[in-house]
Structure 1
Amino acid sequence: MSPAKRAAASKASTPAAKKAKNVEDPLTLKAVNTIRVLAADMVQEANSGHPGAPMGCAPIAFELYTQFMSYSPSDPQWPGRDRFILSNGHACALQYIMLHLTGHSLSMDDLKSFRKVDSMTPGHPENFVTPGIEVSTGPLGQGLANAVGLAIAEKHMAATYNKEGFDLVDNYTYVLCGDGCLQEGVTSEASSLAGHLGLGKLILLYDDNQITIDGETDLSFTEDVLKRYEAYGWHTSSVADGTNLKDLNKKIEAARKVTNKPSIIKVTTVIGFGSVNQGKEKVHGAPLGADDVRQVKEKFGFDPDQSFVVPDDVRDVFTSCAEAGEQARKEWHAMLAKYKEAHPDLGAEFERRIAGKLPEGWADGLPVYKVGDAAKASRFTSGLALNALAAKLPEMVGGSADLTPSNLTALKETGDFQKDTPEGRYLRFGVREHGMAAITNGIFCYGGYRPFCATFLNFISYASGAVRLSALSRMGVLYIMTHDSIGLGEDGPTHQPIETLALCRATPNMHTWRPADGNEVSGAYYSAMESYNTPSVLALSRQNLPVLEGSSMEKVKKGGYVLKEYGEGDDLDIIIASTGSEVCICVDTAKLLAEAGKKVRIVSMPCLEIYDEQPEAYKLECFPEGVPVMSVEALGIEGWHKYAHAPFGLIRFGSSGKGPDVYKKFGITPDNLKVQAEKVIAFYPKGQAPSLVKRPQLDFVRYNEHGH
């Protein structure tokens, strides 16, 4: 019997749980109304927030946490737990209340601090702040898409580690979402894939309260959601009265028995249940007001002069359920101990993965290149590096948004993850960039995975909502983005990224890599894998790139380094800083300048964010005082003024044509760059270019106690 089933059986045997079977039972009704009153109190105390959904969804949360879910308040990251995702994150008062009632480390004072600076109860759920929160939600639809990733991870890990007599991995993923989530395109992308993959342990509870901020959903949303999900390949059902726990229980139990497809249960609720404005948009995103909160308490039998109260008998209901979960956790760990005796190698690997540790020698197979080796596109050397790592790291899973032959991300070690082959490690995401990134976030958050996903760099913009959450939530996802500049050629400006790297580089807690050759590609992968709490974007070329004299994996780890100098004499005339496919062009430019009597240094800067972390002394080694710097990148110049006196790049969209012809059109050729460099040299008196390293150092709040 699975941990979830054991917990459910244990909970059903407790007196409190037996009393909590039907909504008609006085204690059950009192417990549900306690959730509603606490939600009203929290939002009122904060004078900010969303009371409506928590009050309407209280019966759903009650049923999940008391009758179905297995969880451990003492160990919120227990691998055997069921996962609960609040996709409509604005309703987070509901989730905080449930965590408090079930004995997680959220006190009543934490509930009172709702939406206050540095509290454990921020305005939307954040997984790195609050124990018991699986993923950060708020942008609507992200949570549901994350849940698809969690369900994929569960199915894959079960296929990998479960053996006869050992259901080591056997949990459900429950999602609560609202109308807004189902209007977002990301959920359509993710739900379509979930149906294709037959994720039978994914259960979505759709809060159909028929209200959005603008008013009734009839203003903009009149589709038949269940028919849409039936077409996706989901099992569908509905609960006409969201206060009917008996019907809700029946539908959830039926969904759990459907093992070959995900399930959606449409639950019709009344937003702001109990408020004088229940069923109206007024209760969606604003406090009820003192008078309304008072009448809510009177209506539900609570003392209107008291706030933040949990009756003892109600607390006992949740305590007994949490105790059942703790017992399930102990049984799971006992099973794990026996599993390790029966399957020691698999058991050790499972524990290592869950701990997020890399094995000894994990990077030994990364390719190393020497000058004279055949020129290869960095997307090609990326494929070699990816497969070298995947051969040693079973936690590496991922795929492409229908661009596998272009991204070169196919894994040779494994087949595809499909409905009937869940042991496969390669995901065919289809043309679903946004859904792909959000699903990948969910795979990471399951634990034990270092997932990757891939498309053209330009189309990371399609996925940026989820990519931003990777960075905010400290997820070490790898974004493999090929066709990284105007060098992709004939597909033209609709496909050629210009502003895209600036967007990635401007995102906090994200490493943006643009390697110049195979050695830099291997170094980028090495650093990305070591950055467990930071996502990495690898921007890779379509065109072939030569192995550069002076490049190495080790040097790349500093983000920027001196590649080579050209010309005679001791004093530098100019430094040219560049990334990716333009570094080799800058090398050729330096040779022309050297022939003209100039001394030139080439600095390769594959990752500006990691370079920024280096000490001042190292930066001065790369960029000594007084020497003018010109940067070259076949993308937008935004951001380069921090590193160069004269950035050279694009200030318009690209153009269609052969890659070399497009480069020539925009002047990214050795001959033209030589002319531009001579202008920079002439502009600054020798040795008097302003410092780019020594500047006023302002103090920024870079990290707080929660680990942003």
Structure 2
Amino acid sequence: MCSAMCDTDARAHLLSGVDELSMVHFLEYAATLMANLGNYKVWQMAPPQQDDTDVYQGYGDQKFVTRIDSHAFEKLCSLTESTQSLFTLVKDAMYSEVPASLGFPDEGGTSNYYLGSPPPSKAEIEQLKIGVGSRLSLRNTRLSKSELEGSIRYEILVASASDRADEAFDLMLPDKAKPGRDPSGVRCEFEALVTCQDKEWTSAFSNLASKAHSFILELPWSGMGDDGDQLGPFENDTFIRPNFVALKLICYCASNVWTGLTAPGYPDVKAEHGRKNLTFSNRVEASTMDPSRPDWYGRDRFVMSNGHAGILQYVMLYLTGYKSMTMKDLKLYVDPKHFDKATGTAVSTNAHCHPEREVGGIEITPGQGIVNAVGMAIAGKQQAALFNMERHEIISGRIDSEDINSKMRAAGWDVINVFDGDESVDNIYSAETPSHTVSEQTKATFKAIVAQKEREVQKWDGQLENYSREFASQHQRLLSRIAGSANYEAFLNDFQFPDGMASKATRESNGFLFQALIKQFESLFAGGADVWGPNKLGDPGELVFERGYYEGRIARYGIREHAMASISNGLAAYCPQAFVPITTTSFVLYLYATAGEGQNGPTHQADITIISSRSELAFAVEAARILTGKGTPTWVVSMPCVRLFDAQTEEYKNEVISATPHVISYEAYVSTIWGRYCTASIAMDSFGYSAAAIDNYARFRLDTESVVVKIERHVASLSQRTRKVQWMLLK
């Protein structure tokens, strides 16, 4: 609206019913409002015959009011339907009579130390001070008054039972620290912090400050001052360049929520020693996200290294409005999620034990943590290097890591540490049990954060629109990357190998094809774990991703196969369509098995052999008992180590597993190698699920009853066939 007000045509139209002074008052109010969206300033209204106003700072328990007449304001707001509707909504509150300053509530003042509707009067406050002053420090308390069924109730809210509050207060310089918030003269605001300098943001602020004077001249009221004053009526005659220092907070304790401060805060000290504007660069940071668009490209990517701490991420998703996470999901986090075999239904939740990237707001399934984050950071750096242009930083390459506990405490959260939780479950349960309710204050806090993030998303969308007009080809190239429009299939269909390639090793032809692909498709990002040369992938040359050349698309991983795979996962998770990672190493098949030995040879006259191991043995034995009881003799072979079994004589192996017509493996895992030994397998053919173990066996039809049903159905189907069939997975 303000930009429209400064438009010449719009202004001319509006001023037909609004005088010039009202217009000035409106701009005055709008500028003050926009400059103080987080805090407020009180404008002490001057007597009608005076032109000046007194201004002083406030922190949320004060408000400022406009000097423009409500009818003129309404005329200005009629520019659009949205502003007119908004004005109608807030008009009464804007023009209501408000306390002019801090003070006791019953004397026309306001104070956030005295709560209630109505709050306690000065006389009540003084009386309570006499009654509790000798037993309770008033410096770390608030007083609340409520009325219930005709009885008045007072509550004293204690911030801390420790005497350290008094000690800290007494340490303040007596000639400097004056109670500036409490009308009783007892309490004053305090803050204590441990920080380190944020050099990057300090440099950015210094650069901004160096250009501030030129920015002032770009404001709408520039040149509107008396005698053609270039600065205009709202600026000081002399511009004092601010001295900014940005700080990263390590630990923060304060009685108010500041995003920065001016140090020192006392005029006489400022005059003698100067001052600095301190900004806390990580105090109000939060992920830039759009809960309505979890895959929005401009978002920050959050990677959780410790997957078992997923409930923290789930709570944040819920509070910030992601539709993928509900209170029901949160409550089911520790639920066993029972499976009902009769109906085939089960209790389900998106709040799995480990966060899964299929859930909106989860960037990547944890397990490789910091290395996944390295992959995402590489992706962000490369995209920023490719697409950011002068004055158009549409992709952030910022990388953040932080002490979550300290940040959560600084933001007002209760943090419960259970340092021996890995050794004592009782100590976890004896810690304060959190409730499944969210306070209105917490909801309001996150609602404000989400609103701020919505504005950031809108700002990014606007920046992208400006970017598209100035750099049309780059913009289209970026959209193609995001959409994953590379046509690999068409390229491969038309690709021709040179004569003689068919007679060479496959790594020769793979290398030849790779070199063609990497030149054609910029979405490919490749790397080799010290075997780039042996795999015939060619000279990486100018495509190497390294410091100073983030446009590169080939990484030198060294002998770090696992790190290479994890980084590649992070690259793919950054934007699955924009990045297609390629890894190369020497291929070795690893087979996991445990030490042990097989069961002695089978008994007589069995029809079915079930081979199993580890946890499934109990189910297998029970299934064999049921099948034998039904007239189908069945025995069980325990095979905890395939390697040791393969080392036995052929006679022994045939005696153990070849004496029955049906040899069926049973394992709650993928059926990797069982086709060598069995005619069929009962195994997993999908990802698992985060739930109680016994319920998961039923969920995936791997419990005893399901095993019996699958074997009976398999044997019955084979009895009707005229020829032997190959190995098969029983479902």
The alignment's TM-score, normalised by the length of structure 2, stands at 0.41
More helix by percentage? 1
Q: Looking at CA atoms only, which structure, 1 or 2, has the larger radius of gyration? A: 2
The alignment's TM-score, normalised by the length of structure 1, stands at 0.42
